[in-house]
Amino acid sequence: MMDAGLVWFGIVDNGVLVLAMVAGVSLDRVWMPARWRSPALSAIVAGAVGNTVSDGLAAVPMGARAVLAVVVGCVVGPVLAGVVVGAWRIVSDGLAGDGRRRVED
């Protein structure tokens, strides 16, 4: 038999994630610099924030240390991914020579 508490946890956890992503799609015009505007990137960032909030809330019954550990774990992945993507954009813009993105023929 399924544990109703765990089913409810999954509904809330993914519900917060989906709502954050949907909200994030339209927020790119508000909080992102023009060069980086992208509904997809906004949804990813909003999803990461929504996931961090929902997972942190889920850890509350386990205590403050668990909440902190979960939140730190949720933040490290997206931050590292952002650093890698940012570095890649800087390198690829530099390779283009004139600051514009290269277009493949």
pTM above 0.75, yes or no: no
% of the chain surpassing 90 pLDDT? 10
pLDDT one-digit tens code per residue, 82-99 = 888 888 888 887 766 555
| Contact in structure between 25 and 50 (CB atoms under 8 Å) | no
The single residue listed with the structure tokens 């909200």 is: 23
The single residue listed with the structure tokens 């023929």 is: 105
For 34, half-sphere exposure in the C-beta direction (CA atoms, 13 angstrom radius) is 0
Q: What is the DSSP letter of 53?
A: H
CB atoms within 10 A of CB 47: 20
